[in-house]
């Protein structure tokens, strides 16, 4: 899935988002790109769980 995270400003933000997703699914493959503000996630978890994890880390998904 591809999610747009407008508040992701730097690679540290991407790391925080990646850690948040990995708490929900330790096997998820995450690619966060602060330039495009897109997060690509390969996971078997529902999108709602991933969105909630990102939002809980302080980065609401648009």
CATH number assigned to the domain comprising residue 19: 3.30.70.100
For residue 61, tell me if it sits in a domain: no
Number of folded domains that form the chain = 1
For 45, residues 6+ apart whose C-beta sits below 8 A from its C-beta are 24, 25, 28
The answer to whether residues 21 and 28 touch, using CB atoms and an 8 Å cutoff, is: yes
> Which pLDDT score, from 0 to 100, does residue 19 have?
98
Chain segment 2-50, per-residue pLDDT in tens: 999 999 999 999 999 999 999 999 999 999 999 999 999 999 999 999 9
Residue 40 lies in a domain: yes
Asked whether residue 62 is domain-assigned, the answer is no
Q: What pLDDT is recorded for position 57?
A: 97
| Alpha-carbon gap, residue 35 to 26, rounded angstroms | 25
* Structural domain containing residue 18: 2-56
In this structure, the strands spanning 29-33 and 2-4 are unpaired
């Amino acid at each position: 899935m591809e999610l747009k995270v407008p508040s992701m400003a730097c690679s540290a933000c991407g790391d925080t988002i990646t850690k948040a997703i990995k708490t929900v699914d330790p096997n998820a493959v995450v690619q966060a790109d602060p330039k495009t503000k897109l997060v690509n996630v390969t996971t078997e978890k529902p999108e709602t769980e991933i969105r909630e994890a990102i939002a809980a880390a302080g980065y609401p998904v648009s």
